[in-house]
Amino acid sequence: MKKIFVLTGEPSGDKLASTIISKLKIENSEIEYLSVGGSNLKKIGIESIFDLKDITYLGFTSVLLNIFKIRNKINTTVDEILRFNPDILFSVDSPDFTLRVAEKVKKINNNIKTIHYVAPQVWVWRKNRVKRIKKFIDHMLLLFNFEKKYFDQENIKNTFVGHPLIEKKDNAKITLDNLISKDKKIISLFPGSRKSETNVLLPILLDFIKLMNKKNFNYSFVFHATDENREFIINKIKNTILDNIDVVSDENMKDQVLSNSIFAVSKSGTISLQISSANIPSIIIYKLSFINFMIFKLLVNVKFANIINIINNKEVIPELLQKECNAEEIYKTVTYFLKNPELIEKQLIDCKKTLEGIKSKSSSSSEAALILNNYLVS
């Protein structure tokens, strides 16, 4: 029986990996799996060698403070992969963890094929990484077509498969009547999948809700959580007197809530593509410690944090970062958009044009699953 080790480093990667492996299981049921994964991979029957929460850290300083723990997890993961002896090591996103593991594995056992999904953003920072990646990655699966040139230059085998978050979904409709009153307008909130992100952004978003409630009680605020941080968010909300908040972690439910929202406030990241794909107006927020932010500013090659803004080289979606990432600024920006529907319309038109330009012709997860299967049967 063929074997695949699925390697992720955070909940978003776990979600991406699960969609691909679900498709692969339909194509080929004769595969044994093991992983570093989370709840999504677990739901499709794939065991993880340890809890994903053990390796999700935010910012340079957090990583430095936990460097020995991370190094130990990398070495443990390498040992488990070598013991499992898979035909394919399939790594997804989180390059500072997954690619370090892949490099060590490849040095010891060159027979294991290494396929990486979600290329490291070499077009944003650390461009020279490509030369090193060439030595240990057999095939790079790209989310964006403009990434190809960076890997073609180094003759790294690569395929543009597209981004799964902008694919149309055929989810069954779920009624929201039991969750949200019909007379309430929904604002979706995305505080991040990492606990370190949620720790920073959740208090800011709760203060934003308080400001909104002072002016208007006609809104219902829904936090989009993961299975890993759902209880953490719920417990924080319990410490407030706010009663127009809900928390959802079921993927189908989250999709339904988002599609019925009038606005979204999201942490910076690829989730913004899913929001834009759902044709929902939004703003982006993010906050790092001062030291982490200064290091980030020194290393990055782009002016914006959001991928849609980066592609357009202008601010299509407002970014409230660092000092501007506070409840007052979020409140001002959201209410300004809600009072000016022409601004919402312009953002949605610009986002739609951008998404059309980066869509692949086929399903990203199906394309990735096909490539994995081809390696197994060749």
Per residue in 71-94, pLDDT (tens digit) is 889 999 999 999 999 999 999 999
At residue 125 the predicted structure's pLDDT band, cuts being 50, 70 and 90, is low
Give the chain's mean pLDDT.
89
Please report how the helices 195-215 and 230-238 are oriented relative to each other, as an axis angle in degrees rounded to 10.
40
- pLDDT (0 to 100) of residue 60: 43
Q: On the CB side of 13, how many CA atoms lie within 13 Å of its CA? A: 27
- pLDDT (0 to 100) of residue 58: 44
Cα gap 92→113, rounded to integer Å: 14
Q: On the CB side of 101, how many CA atoms lie within 13 Å of its CA? A: 33
Share of the chain above pLDDT 70, in %: 88
Q: Where are the beta strands (DSSP E) in the chain?
A: 2-8, 31-36, 88-92, 113-117, 139-142, 158-160, 185-190, 219-224, 245-248, 261-267, 282-286, 319-321
Lowest mean pLDDT, pick from 132-141, 284-293, 305-314 = 284-293
Question: What mean pLDDT is predicted for residues 341-350?
Answer: 98
Q: Where are the beta strands (DSSP E) in 9-163?
A: 31-36, 88-92, 113-117, 139-142, 158-160
- pLDDT (0 to 100) of residue 163: 87
Share of the chain above pLDDT 90, in %: 68
- pLDDT (0 to 100) of residue 153: 92
218 within 8 A of 232, measured Cβ to Cβ: no
Cα gap 74→94, rounded to integer Å: 13
User: pLDDT (tens digit, 9 = 90+) per residue, 245-270?
Assistant: 999 999 899 999 999 999 999 998 88
Could you tell me which residues come within 8 angstroms of residue 234 by beta carbon, excluding any fewer than 6 positions away?
Answer: 247
Q: Is the pLDDT of residue 57 over 60?
A: no
- pLDDT (0 to 100) of residue 61: 46
Determine phi and psi for 3, rounding to 5 degrees.
-130, 145
Lowest mean pLDDT, pick from 134-143, 155-164, 175-184, 305-314 = 175-184
At residue 70 the predicted structure's pLDDT band, cuts being 50, 70 and 90, is confident
User: pLDDT (tens digit, 9 = 90+) per residue, 182-230?
Assistant: 678 999 999 998 887 899 999 999 999 999 999 877 899 999 998 889 9
Could you tell me the domains of the chain?
Answer: 2-162+361-377 (3.40.50.2000), 185-358 (3.40.50.2000)
Cα three-residue angle 254-260-262, rounded to 5 degrees: 115
Taking phi over 0 as left and psi of -120 to 50 as alpha, with beta for the rest, 353 belongs to alpha
Strand order through the sheet with 158-160: 31-36, 2-8, 88-92, 113-117, 139-142, 158-160
User: pLDDT (tens digit, 9 = 90+) per residue, 18-54?
Assistant: 999 999 999 999 999 999 999 999 999 999 999 887 7
At residue 106 the predicted structure's pLDDT band, cuts being 50, 70 and 90, is very high
At residue 337 the predicted structure's pLDDT band, cuts being 50, 70 and 90, is very high
- pLDDT (0 to 100) of residue 178: 62
Please report how the helices 67-84 and 95-108 are oriented relative to each other, as an axis angle in degrees rounded to 10.
50
Decide which of 362 and 1 is more confident: 1
Cα gap 112→3, rounded to integer Å: 10
Question: What mean pLDDT is predicted for residues 152-172?
Answer: 83
